[in-house]
Amino acid sequence: MFNRQVTVSTGLTALFLVATVGSASCSGLTSMVEQMRSGKVKLAEVNAEKENLTAQNERDLKEYTAYSESFGQLAAKKQSMVDNFKKDIAARIGSANAMVEAWNARCDANRVGELPEPAFKSCQAEKARLEPTVTAIVSAVDRDTESFEKNQLAPMEDIFKRQKTAMDGLDTRIKGRFEKWLKVKELSDEMTARLANLRSALVEACSTATTIESIKHCNAIGWDGARMDLPPLQ
d(CA 43, CA 133): 82
Predicted local distance difference test score (pLDDT) of residue 51 = 97
Domain ranges of the chain: 2-221
Residues 2-35: tens digit of each pLDDT: 333 333 344 443 444 444 333 445 667 778 878 8
Predicted local distance difference test score (pLDDT) of residue 224 = 47
Residues 6+ apart with CB under 8 A from 20: 1
Angle, nearest 10°, between helix axes 26-107 and 154-207?
A: 160
Residues 136-160: tens digit of each pLDDT: 999 999 999 999 999 999 999 999 9
What is the three-class DSSP state of 230?
coil
Residue stretches of the chain with pLDDT short of 70? 1-27, 209-234
Predicted local distance difference test score (pLDDT) of residue 198 = 86
Predicted local distance difference test score (pLDDT) of residue 172 = 97
d(CA 36, CA 203): 12
Provide the residue type at 129 as one letter. R
- Reported as type and span, the H/E element at residue 201 is helix 154-207
